[in-house]
Every structure is written in structure tokens, then in C-alpha cells.
Structure 1
Amino acid sequence: MLENFNALVDGLPPSLIYLLIAALVFAEAALFFGFVFPGETAIVVGGVLASQGTLSLPLLLVISVVAAVAGDSVGYEIGRKYGTRLLETRAMSKHRAKVATAQDLIRRRGAFAVFIGRFTALLRALMPALVGSSRLPYPKFLVFNVIGGVAWVCTFTLGGYFAGEAFDHAAKIAGRGLAIGLAVAAVVAIIVWSVRKHRREAVEEAEAESEAEGEAARALEQTSP
């Protein structure tokens, strides 16, 4: 697995790798890029590269936190400026159940929803804009945005860092062949878990939308003469 990471960044200067990671993390909420590419993937890979000495771990953490906070702040401003019109966009209409979940979380938790949403891929892309459209004061949003950004970046970056170190340690003890086999098995397990999770979320979203449509139909019947 680490050999693949090396091939991916072979010839790229560290400054460009930092820039790519920062761009992916920033775009997740600022440009709703999180709908197609979870930002934690970038920082996990960055953590693995830091364990190899390709990147500086402290610098990676700082850059990732700044990108995460800045991206969410842009998402907040988009929501504040466009308000309810944002919900009519194609990106939002495709995920009505998730939008409803995020809005309910904001109503129940207020600014703390920003921290909670940080650890769920789709909510992480939606939450800043929805909080902005709810007119939550920016200072309150910023506090939980920074706390959530620091916690999220440290969790996944350090996870990638220690995973990379564990791989190297296993390779020294058991040999690279066995270590690579274990790494491949771990990757397969993660992929299977991710696919199942995605399918489960799709089913839940479809059920929620079906239930909402049913309630709307029943309400229409009750109001009909």
C-alpha cells in the first residue's frame, strides 16, 4: 500500500503535495466537493506520507486545519448569502433526506451541530452552508468550526501517520511480503465497509424521501374537498 503512495507522489515536491491536500480539504465544504470526495481521504494519505518523512507532520496539521476552517467559513458565507435558494440547487435536491437531517440537527444542537457534522462526510459538506442560511452568528459558528476542524484533522491525520509507522514496523519484523498482504487485507476490509455504509445510507435516504412524499400526499388528501 505504501509503495502505491510512493508511486503516486514520486517526483512531486512536498510543496505541491501540501497544496493538493489543502485544496481537497478546503473544497469539501466551500465547493461542496465532499459530495464526491471525502476530505479525510486526503489527510489520511498525508499522514501516511508524513510517517515516511515525505511531509512534515506539524506543518501538515497546521495547513490542514487552516484549509478546513477556511473552507467551512466560505461554505457558511455561501449559505448566509443565498439562504433558502441554496436548497433549490441540484446538489441539495439530490440529498433531501440528509439536508433534513442536518437542519434538524441544527435546530436541536445549534452551533454544536457544526462540530458533530464535521465527522460525517456528507454532513461535513452540507453543514456550514445550512448553518449560514439559518443565520447563526458567525462568531459562534467559528468557535465550533475551529474546534471541530482541529479534532477532525488530528484524528485522521494522526491515524494515517500511525498506520504508516505500524506498516514499517511490521515490515521489519515479519518481512515486507507479509506486511503488504496485511495492508491489502486492511484496504479490502475498509472498501467493503465503505461500500456497505454507502448502500445503507442510500437506502435510509430513499426511505426517508418516500416517507416524506407519503406524508405530503396524505396532507394533500386531507385538505382536498
Structure 2
Amino acid sequence: MNSVWLTDLTAWLSANPGWLSLALFSTAFVESLAVAGIIVPGVALLFAIAALAAQIGMPLMTALMWAGMGAVAGDATSFAIGRLFQGRLTNVWPLSRHPELIRKGERFFRSHGGKSVIIGRFVGPVRPIIPLIAGALLMPWRRFLAFNIASALGWAPVYILPGFLVGSALASEIQPPPHFYLVTGISLAILATIYVILFRFQLGLAEDGRCYLWLQRQMAQYETTHRFWRLYTNERPAHEGEFPLASLMLAFGSIALLVVWGQLTAMTDLITPFDQLALQWFSDLRRPLFDAPAIVATLMGDSPVLFAAAVLACLVLVFRGHYAAAVHILLAAVTATVLVWGLKSAIGIVRPDQVINPPFSGSFPSGHTTGTTVLVTLLASFVAAEARNRKRWQTYIMLSLPLIPVALSRLYLGVHWFSDIVGGLLLGLAITGATRASFSRFDRVPIAPDILTFLAAIAWLTFSGYYIWLMWPDAIQHYTPAS
């Protein structure tokens, strides 16, 4: 029955495109509304409506705006209902028919506090319940609205973009380049293999790993090495006695691989065929439909955006008294900038000639990839430090995902070689490993997110949006294909 109803509604909206804005708002509203969001297939509806919006030519920002406003309104309504029926939620229909959801939502909210409003926006069963619980437990209105709006800014693209891109592709009848699915499948398999190897290696270097315990015994035999081990050992109660072996090995391993990779790139032709093949593949893939998302991704990796994130993070940490963490983040940003500039100048590899106005600097390594790698992996390391050892890998995977569109955008736009991206990734990982290893001796207390953290995130997103809007005309011109 649900599928028939969904098909009929989709057909009606196709025949009445003027109602699409209201449909986006209403569907997002119901998707975020208490209990109704579980019953109504909001995800499928949003995908279908977003696809229709793209096919009739609705601007992407308009679709995101209507969906975002609907999500904010739905959560605000749920919050108001929770405030109205506080203490009596399980006695009011239809909430009385789902008492287990209320209990689950209360446990989730008490465990995560205010940030559960953001987390709950993306977590299935508790998604439409958390705003209700927040209202019932008397969370302040202003604090809730800050979390509500911040979460909607991330929610709208996640739920709208897939359908919008599919609708745009159907409207333009895009044909993928030769061997598209084969190359994509092999690339995903290689990425999965790298992740498996990385995490297995990471587990071997953990505090209870064989390699860690063996090295600890060897270091304890000599006074100098034992003093070094104790100097960098974490003194925080939850991580007492934990030496940053994984961070050090990440730094040394990445530096060693970067030296080897840089020599292969600059002094031999071994990697040149791979660079040319990747360049040609992305050149065949390029379509006007994909240009806008690629330019947005590449602008998010520009130096002003990354420096804004670093400065805001430092200000938040300094304001909260975490001076050592702020200094290490600032040093990581400066180190990345200096090393990228120095390597580009020293190696001097010429960029591809795929765009009308390519950047004037050298090609190797990719500064966008280096900066974004440092940003996301340092963020992941600080967040993962507050999680249990077995849960840290999930944090690293989730927070490393923004690196993918930035790196791919440089290849897609034709301003970097494949080897540049790998070089930037290795350099970024080396800086992150060294930064985390150095910070371990200053790691005394947990650094948990608070309202100031989320306000800084909103400020960064606002700045990033303004920067993209400001630079958009020049970016369109600079990244126009040369032929």
C-alpha cells in the first residue's frame, strides 16, 4: 500500500510542479515530527521529491532551503509538544502506544545531553523522539534552537542531494565514461583493503597489542629510552600509561612513504602512466552537472576555509583553558602550510593543462588534500580520544569522509595529478601523527564538545557559505575546461 501511495503522490507532483516547494517543506516537517517520522516513509518521499525538483529545474539551494526549514519546524513542534506534556508523554495518544521509544529516547538524551539533538537527527529509531524528550526534560529554548538549526544545515544536504543528483542525471541523460563501473568497483575495493590493513595495524599498536607490549619491555631496559617513554605517556586517568605508539608510527611511516613516493614522482616515469590514465578518466567523466558540486568541494578545501576552522578551534580551546591543544592545532596548520609551499617550490612538478586558468603554484603535493587531511584527522583524533578503544575506528571512518570529495574534486577539475593527491594525503597524515604524539604529554583532561563548540561550528559553516558565494564567479572562470 505504501508503495502505491508513494507512486501516486510522485505522479501528482510531476503534474503539479508548483506544489514541490510545499511538498519538500511538508515532508521534511513530518519526517522530523514526533512519532509521525517513524510511520511516514519520509526518506523515500524526500528522495523522490528532490529528484522531481531537479527534473523541473528547481535550484538546488531552493530545495535545500525548503527542506531545511521543514526539518527545523518539525523538530521545534516536537519540542513544544514535549514541553506541553512533560511528565505525561506515555499517557498521551499516540505516544502511549510507543512507551519503549520514549524510554529509549530518554536514555539517549541523558547519555549525550544537548548534542543528542544533532546526533538524533541522523539516528534512525530515536530521530523524531529526541526533540520531544528535550522539551519534556526542560532543555532551554535558545539552546535547543541552536542545536536544531545546526543539525538541519547538515541534514538537508544528506537527505536532498542524492535524489537531486539522480533527478539531474535523468534529466540530462548522462552516459558514464568507458569502464566507469569497473574503475569505480576496483577503486572501492582498494579503499576497503587499505582501511582493513590500517585498522588491523592500528589494533596491533594499541595498548594491549603484542607489538606495543614488546616495545614497552625493550624501552624499559635503558634509562634514556624509559624516560622518553614516560615523558610522552598519557597521564589522564582514563588513558593512564598509554604511550602514543600508533601516532608516532603513523608519523614515521607516512614520512617514509612520502619520501619514497616523492622520489618516484619527481625522478622517475614509473607513476606517470597512472597519472595520465586518471587524468583522462576524470576528463571523460566531466559534465556540467557535476561541475558545481566539484567546485563547492574544492572551495571547501581552500586555505581561507581551512584556516578559519583552525582559528575558531584555537579560540574555543583557549577560551576553555585547553592552551596546549590550541597551540598544537595552530602549529599543525602552520606546518602544513610551510611544508606544502616548500615541497611545491622544491619539486616543481607542472600541473595538468585541463583548465583555462590553473593555479600558478607547483603541483606536488596537493595543498587541498594536505590541509583537509590534517583538519579531519586531527578532529577525528580528538573526538576518538574520548571514546573506548574499540569504538575509535568508527570515529576515524565517519570524520575522514569529507576528505574524499575534496581530493576527488582536484582530480575531477583537472588541476592535480593522481600522485599529487597521494602525496598530500601522506603529508597530512604525517603532520597529524606528529601532532597527536607531541600533544600526548599535555593530555590531562577530556576535551568534550559544548555549546561553544557548536556555535563555532555554525560560525565556520556560515563563513564557508559566504566564502563559496564570494568566490563562485572566479571559481567558475578558473575551472572552466580548456577545451
Give TM-score, length-normalised by structure 1: 0.66
Q: Measure, in 2, the Cα distance between the counterparts of 1:44 and 1:6.
A: 10
Counterpart position of 1:80 = 83
Counterpart position of 1:66 = 69
Counterpart position of 2:42 = 39
Counterpart position of 1:9 = 13
Task: Specify whether residues 160 and 29 from structure 1 end up closer, same or farther in structure 2 by C-alpha distance, changes over 3 A only.
Answer: closer
Q: Does 1:130 align with 2:126?
A: no
Kept in 1: contact 2:27–2:46 (CA 8 A)? no
Counterpart position of 2:155 = 152
1:186-205 Cα deviation digits (max 9, x unpaired): xxxxxxxxxxxxxxxxxxxx
Q: Measure, in 2, the Cα distance between the counterparts of 1:138 and 1:89.
A: 23
1:164-205 Cα deviation digits (max 9, x unpaired): 344557x5538xxxxxxxxxxxxxxxxxxxxxxxxxxxxxxx
Using the TM superposition, give the Cα deviation of residue 108 of structure 1 relative to its aligned residue in structure 2, in angstroms: 1.1
Kept in 1: contact 2:21–2:66 (CA 8 A)? yes
Q: Measure, in 2, the Cα distance between the counterparts of 1:77 and 1:132.
A: 6
1:40-83 Cα deviation digits (max 9, x unpaired): 33322232123313433211111111111112111101111110
Q: Measure, in 2, the Cα distance between the counterparts of 1:151 and 1:167.
A: 25
Q: Measure, in 1, the Cα distance between the counterparts of 2:35 and 2:20.
A: 21
Q: Does 1:27 align with 2:30?
A: yes
2:43 aligns to what SS in structure 1? helix
Counterpart position of 2:399 = none
Rg comparison, structure with higher value: 2
Kept in 2: contact 1:46–1:60 (CA 8 A)? no
RMSD between aligned residues = 2.6
What amino acid is aligned across from residue 17 of structure 1 in structure 2? L
Task: Specify whether residues 26 and 134 from structure 1 end up closer, same or farther in structure 2 by C-alpha distance, changes over 3 A only.
Answer: same
What amino acid is aligned across from residue 55 of structure 1 in structure 2? M
Of 55-64 and 118-127, more deviation after overlay is shown by 118-127
Counterpart position of 2:54 = 51
Q: Which has the higher contact order (CA 8 A, sep 6+)?
A: 1
Task: Specify whether residues 154 and 81 from structure 1 end up closer, same or farther in structure 2 by C-alpha distance, changes over 3 A only.
Answer: same
Q: Does 1:119 align with 2:142?
A: no
2:88 aligns to what SS in structure 1? helix
Using the TM superposition, give the Cα deviation of residue 4 of structure 1 relative to its aligned residue in structure 2, in angstroms: 8.5
Q: Does 1:173 align with 2:175?
A: yes
Kept in 2: contact 1:43–1:153 (CA 8 A)? no
List structure 1 runs of 4+ shifted beyond 3 angstroms: 3-8, 28-32, 165-169, 171-174
Task: Specify whether residues 30 and 57 from structure 1 end up closer, same or farther in structure 2 by C-alpha distance, changes over 3 A only.
Answer: same
Q: Does 1:91 align with 2:94?
A: yes
1:90 aligns to what SS in structure 2? coil
Q: Measure, in 1, the Cα distance between the counterparts of 2:16 and 2:108.
A: 41
Q: Measure, in 1, the Cα distance between the counterparts of 2:125 and 2:91.
A: 17
Q: Measure, in 2, the Cα distance between the counterparts of 1:54 and 1:8.
A: 17
Q: Which runs of 5+ in 2 are unaligned?
A: 1-6, 177-483
1:69-114 Cα deviation digits (max 9, x unpaired): 1121111011111102122223223333322221111101111111
Q: Measure, in 2, the Cα distance between the counterparts of 1:75 and 1:145.
A: 11
Kept in 2: contact 1:46–1:55 (CA 8 A)? no
Q: Measure, in 2, the Cα distance between the counterparts of 1:135 and 1:124.
A: 18
Q: Measure, in 1, the Cα distance between the counterparts of 2:30 and 2:137.
A: 21
Q: Which has the higher helix share?
A: 1
Q: Measure, in 2, the Cα distance between the counterparts of 1:168 and 1:12.
A: 17
Q: Number of paired residues?
A: 170
Q: Which runs of 5+ in 1 are unaligned?
A: 175-225
Identity of aligned pairs, percent?
A: 26
Q: Measure, in 2, the Cα distance between the counterparts of 1:158 and 1:29.
A: 18
What amino acid is aligned across from residue 7 of structure 1 in structure 2? A
Using the TM superposition, give the Cα deviation of residue 161 of structure 1 relative to its aligned residue in structure 2, in angstroms: 1.5
Using the TM superposition, give the Cα deviation of residue 6 of structure 1 relative to its aligned residue in structure 2, in angstroms: 6.9
Kept in 1: contact 2:23–2:49 (CA 8 A)? no
Q: Measure, in 1, the Cα distance between the counterparts of 2:8 and 2:84.
A: 42
Give TM-score, length-normalised by structure 2: 0.32
Task: Specify whether residues 109 and 68 from structure 1 end up closer, same or farther in structure 2 by C-alpha distance, changes over 3 A only.
Answer: same
1:173 aligns to what SS in structure 2? coil
Kept in 2: contact 1:72–1:128 (CA 8 A)? yes
Counterpart position of 1:105 = 108
